[in-house]
Amino acid sequence: MVVAIVGLLSAVAIAAFSSSRVSSRDAKRQKDIKAIQTALEAYYSVYNRYPLSVAWSSSSNDLGRWDTLQNALRPYLAGLPVDPAQSETGTPLTGPSSYSYAYRSLNTNVDCYRNAYVLIYRLENPTGPDPGVVQCNGVYLQYGTGVKSALQTLGNKAK
């Protein structure tokens, strides 16, 4: 009987600990994204455009794009953060178990050339819908779906 009670208490404690770890990682993700957004806005205030990205720059890719973004933002952010459960490859768009941060500046539309950006990240415990972002050309981007979307799309306000 005592063994069963100890086992039950252990299971409850492990579940509570696991849930708090997930909440802690999600809070860090939101804090990291806010820091990146602040650095991007500081960059924009100096150069009147956002750092160039010719494709998605992800904290998990090995193509050097995240390093390029980090170098551009270095005066405003000592180092670009990475997701606390960082995946080795892919972007948050890759799949439900892909944890990383992804950045892209809009550079294909003349109206938005480097005047808009998108940041995407994935939550482990989604609490609401993906907020999405309206770009400078009026296009609404939203990569997550549903009432509780793990995928979150953020960007700058339309300029």
β-pairing, 102-105 vs 117-122, is antiparallel
* 22-71 tens-digit pLDDT: 999 999 999 999 999 999 999 999 999 899 887 778 887 655 688 889 99
**Distance (Å, rounded) from C-alpha 107 to C-alpha 94?**
22
Q: Domain count of the chain? A: 1
**Distance (Å, rounded) from C-alpha 107 to C-alpha 36?**
19
CB-based contact 86:60 (threshold 8 Å): yes
Q: Please state the rounded mean pLDDT for residues 111-123.
A: 84
What is the residue range of 34's domain?
2-155
Tell me the whole-structure pTM to 2 decimals.
Answer: 0.81
